[in-house]
Amino acid sequence: MTLSCPRCHTAFVVPRRRAQTTATAIGGVAGAIQGASSAMTEAKGGDPMGVIASAIFGGLLGGAAGCAAGAVIGAPIDQVLPDSFRCQACGYVFDASRTDPALT
Ligand SMILES: [Zn+2]
């Protein structure tokens, strides 16, 4: 299904993804902290460079996993939020549920 702007009827419509962007950022930060701390706990007792390397690697892995989880969680929230699409041609913001194909 191709969305078109209800005002100017062009197809230059992009999802705003407010919830997905927010959830991805939160997930990335939370995942990085979780990944780094658990990697450091696992590497404890080893040499200091190994602990630091583990923290960095764990943080990167955790951050990537958190971003992915946030994107998955945020996407359905964006579906139910009003004004979830924006027209790049005229700047009009609209809700996808209001774009009934029979009316356009
Ligand atoms: Zn438009």
pLDDT per residue as tens digits for the range 76-98: 887 777 767 889 999 998 886 65
Q: Domain check: are 27 and 44 in the same one?
A: yes
Span 37-74, pLDDT tens digits: 999 888 877 788 889 999 999 999 999 999 999 999 99
Distance 98 CA to ligand 1 centre (A): 14
Q: Which two tokens stand for residue 103?
A: 């009316």
Q: Which two tokens stand for residue 70?
A: 């946030």
pTM value surpassing 0.75: no
Distance 78 CA to ligand 1 centre (A): 20
What is the rounded CA–CA span in Å between residue 33 and residue 96? 36
Distance 8 CA to ligand 1 centre (A): 4
Q: Domain check: are 72 and 90 in the same one?
A: no
Distance 16 CA to ligand 1 centre (A): 14
Domain count, the chain: 2
Q: Domain check: are 29 and 54 in the same one?
A: yes
Distance 91 CA to ligand 1 centre (A): 6
Q: Domain check: are 77 and 87 in the same one?
A: no
CA 82 vs CA 13, 31, 32, 85: distances in Å: 15, 29, 31, 9
Chain centroid, CA 1 distance in Å: 22
Q: What is the residue range of 35's domain? A: 17-81
Q: Domain check: are 91 and 69 in the same one?
A: no
Q: Domain check: are 27 and 43 in the same one?
A: yes
Helices (H) and strands (E) in the chain, counts: 2, 3
